[in-house]
Amino acid sequence: METVVAIVLLTFLAIVAVGIIVLRDLLAAVVLLGLYSLIAAGAFVVMDAVDVAFTEAAVGSGVSTILFLGALSFTKHEQKPRGNDSIIALIFVVITGGLLIYGTLDMPHYGRADSAAQMHPDLAVRFLEVSIDEVGMPNVVTSVLASYRGYDTLGETLVVFAAGIAVLSLLGLKRRRPEEEAPEDAPGDTPKIDPDDVQSQY
């Protein structure tokens, strides 16, 4: 039964992806990207990845959509209309897809417990057995993330910090919009002429 749910969700994902390709309106494409992330989060729950589903739903269809909409509000909402799509790109993509599908014929089937990823003695098998004695918490994903692989998580925190710094130095905290005045009833703030500029924020 779970397999049927997973297959149906995957088919939805493919349909939404085709929708994102075809749409020319960027606002609609961003909303579809949020929908894509949400369906993927549902599919992750079916795959028993509850932590990942939580993060994907919060980050992918929450924060990422807000960032895209914010960026779109600075720029235009529509792609420029094009004449014809590139055939070379389509051929390249089809060939690459065909090669990849040929490559998956050797991969372990969905759900098999005797694949190399499940049977390796140092990783999953060891973590699931030993984690409750060495770390003492039921959530194995947190114990692996914070204790066995704590160094990777430090690097990830540094990456997030660097992204925050990069956006802070690129955009600053006060910017000028293309239109100089806010509409009357927008739930935003009215623009003020501010004497200090971006650099003096630091």
Partner 1 sequence: MSQAIGLYSYWIVIVLMMAGLYIMISRYNLVKKIIGLGVFQTSIFYLYITMGKVDGGTAPILVEGKELVYSNPVPHVLILTAIVVGVATSAVALALIVRIYESYDTIEEDELKAIEALEPDA
Partner 2 sequence: MRRAIPRRLTQTTSRANTENTLVKLYPRQRHRVLQVVTKLVIPFVLMFGLYVQFHGDYGPGGGFQAGVLFASAFILHGLIFGLQQTRRVLSPSVLRVMMSLGVLLYAGTGALTLLMGGNLLDYDVLAHDPLHGQHWGIFAVELGVGITVTGVIVTLFYGFASKR
**∠ CA 78-188-181 to the nearest 5 degrees?**
70
For the bound state, the minimum distance from the C-beta of residue 49 to partner 1, rounded and expressed in Å, comes to: 5
Q: How far is the CB of 29 from partner 2 (least distance, A)?
A: 17
Nearer to partner 2, 108 or 188 (CB): 188
Amino acid identity at 170: L
Residue 101 binds partner 1 (CB under 8 A): yes
Rule CB under 8 A: is residue 47 a binding residue for partner 2? no
Sketch the per residue contact string, 182 through 201, with partner 1: x for CB under 8 A, - otherwise.
--------------------
Q: What's the distance, Cα to Cα, between the start and end of the chain in Å?
A: 56
Q: Scanning residues 3 to 32, which ones bind partner 1 (CB under 8 A)?
A: 3, 6-7, 10-11, 13-14, 17-18, 20-21, 26, 29-30
Give the angle 77-83-86 at the CA atoms, nearest 5°: 100
Minimal distance, residue 26 CB to partner 2, in Å: 15
Asked whether 68 and 33 are in contact (CB, 8 A), the reply is yes
The partner in contact with residue 132, picked from partner 2, partner 1, none with C-beta cut-offs of 5 to 8 angstroms by kind, is partner 1
Strands annotated E in 78-122:
none
* DSSP one-letter code for 108: P
Alpha-carbon gap, residue 144 to 135, rounded angstroms: 9
- CA–CA separation, 109 vs 116, rounded Å? 12
Residue 188: what residue type?
G
DSSP 79: P
Is 63 a binder of partner 2 (CB under 8 A)?
yes
Give the residue, chosen from 17, 18, 67, 119, that forms a contact with partner 2 under the rule CB under 8 A: 67
Q: What are the phi and psi torsion angles at 25 (to 5°)?
A: -80, 120
- Out of 5, 83, 151, 159, point to the residue binding partner 1 (CB under 8 A): 159
Residue with tokens 């949400």: 38
Per CB under 8 A, residues contacting partner 2 are 50-51, 53-55, 58-59, 62-63, 66-67, 70-71, 73-74, 134-139, 141-143, 145-147, 150-151, 153-154, 157-158, 160-161, 163-165, 167-168, 170-177, 182, 185, 187-189, 191-194, 201
